[in-house]
Structure 1
Amino acid sequence: MILFVSGCASTYSTRSVEPSGFLGDYSQMRAGAEEDVQLIYVNPQADFGRYRKIMMDPVSVYVTPDSYLRKVPKEQLSMLVNELDAAIKTQLTPHYEFVHEPQAGAMRLRIAITEAQGANVALDTVSTVVPVGLAISAARRAVFGTHSSIGKAGIEMEILDAETGQRLWAMVDERAGRKITGKFDKFSKWRTTHDASEYWADLVKERLESLQAEHAASTP
């Protein structure tokens, strides 16, 4: 089933993504729907209706040799981690009980930030205001899949049965910022990462709701 998530207007899926290694096994994953996520896996045997608890690992930062993450100061990485952690918990806490150890009916949530490139605020503002700059930025997206100067963010995530370790759901995604978002955030270096975190948090909540609704509908 294709599920589009609200709130994605300020970011878009990049043209391609390279798995970082955080999830280990990518053999089960398939391409996601356009403007959804780039790689996704849903366990067809999973009984999502039985899970009402979440055991969430601390959000990780998984740095590959060619990642922009190597250039991000530690205090800014901590900010990005805390922001994603808060976004996920804000979306899931009203619907699930958070627990700290494996138990029946609990899903284990593992998340890693795999890319974070901040916007070049001065260039971003100039290319948005000046028509020539907009044309150049649009041309760059047509060729490379991303606008110039905007920034991007990447994530890998999986949901496991907390007791057995069986993979229930997983995804890999990378998103870039749009030149014009309709928000007053042109001078925020990390606006793309912030918006991507909100998008992914919404996606997890809505995807779990959808999978549980499908299970309920198929149960006699």
Structure 2
Amino acid sequence: MLRPSFASGTLIAVCLAVASCTTADPTVYSGLASAPQLRPNTQDQTGRTPYRYKGPVDWRSYSKIIVDPVSVYGGPDSQFVKIADTDKSLLAAYMQQQFVEKLGARFAIATAPGPGTLRLHLTLTGAKTTTPVLGPFTHIDVGGGVYNTVQSARGREGSMTGSVNYAVELYDASTSRLLLAYVTKQYPNALNIGASFSSLEASKIGIRKGAEALLAEIK
């Protein structure tokens, strides 16, 4: 019989060797309206936001924003990993609520196009839940702790922890001119053990971080 420490280390080694530990970086999803404009993001070293587009824009000229209902991507190149449709809908609703709340700190939330108004369209393109038992275990095990410490320093996701992939498309509401677009993967810090105790908590943390990142960019 394996001693606990040896069994633990073996389990971690196996876990970290399989592809399901982390999800693939976002791609240029073919079904996005902005797909032709997206280009490799050479400023991103983490793989978190590998493709983006930004046109000439002065964010100070905008004071209102329309937030479209979040779409759930149904293309064959989606990146949902064993996510039930009910969980997709839950994450989409949570994304809608968080982006409205965060952006409402800077912009008046509008319902119709007009001067000085942005229109935001969000598309949930993928998600992965935290692996039950193994998610929290890899945060407290010695081997998993070392791996997650390295991942944290690199700005990458932790082992067996959930994440969320989505696309941002931001338009001038009056002209429908695309101002900003990107695809991104968001997730908690790899050392955030609290994010590993609920299957969807890591994805929700990723959504909150993503809303804060967008607000910081267009303030």
Task: Note the alpha carbon deviations across 1:51-71, whole angstroms, 9 max, x for none.
Answer: 111111101111332545374
Larger relative contact order (CA 8 Å, sep ≥ 6): 1
- Work out the CA distance in 1 between the residues paired with 2:135 and 2:23: 18
- Work out the CA distance in 1 between the residues paired with 2:38 and 2:166: 17
1:196 and 2:206 are equivalent in the alignment? yes
Query: Which residue does the alignment assign to 2:218?
Result: 208
For normalisation by structure 1, the TM-score amounts to 0.75
Query: Which residue does the alignment assign to 2:177?
Result: 166
CA 61–166 in structure 1, closer or farther in 2 if over 3 Å, else same: same
1:69 and 2:94 are equivalent in the alignment? no
Q: 1:122 aligns with which of 105, 130, 133?
A: 133
- Work out the CA distance in 2 between the residues paired with 1:72 and 1:15: 15
Please list, as runs of the form range in 1=range in 2, the aligned pairs for 1:1-220 lying within 5 A after superposition: 16-21=25-30, 22-31=32-41, 32-34=43-45, 37-44=49-56, 46-65=57-76, 67-69=78-80, 71-134=82-145, 146-181=157-192, 184-209=194-219
- Work out the CA distance in 1 between the residues paired with 2:103 and 2:198: 26
Structure 2's unaligned 5+ residue stretches are 1-21
Task: Note the alpha carbon deviations across 1:68-118, whole angstroms, 9 max, x for none.
Answer: 537422322222112111111111113212221221211110101111110
- Work out the CA distance in 1 between the residues paired with 2:38 and 2:185: 19
- Work out the CA distance in 1 between the residues paired with 2:49 and 2:62: 23
Query: RMSD across aligned C-alpha pairs, in angstroms?
Result: 3.0
Paired residues in the alignment total: 193
Seq. identity, %: 21
The 10-residue stretch of structure 1 (22-31 or 169-178) with the greater mean CA deviation from structure 2 = 22-31
- Work out the CA distance in 1 between the residues paired with 2:85 and 2:35: 28
- Work out the CA distance in 2 between the residues paired with 1:76 and 1:154: 14
Instruction: Tell me if the contact between 1:68 and 1:116 (Cα under 8 Å) persists in the aligned partners.
Output: yes
The 10-residue stretch of structure 1 (55-64 or 172-181) with the greater mean CA deviation from structure 2 = 172-181
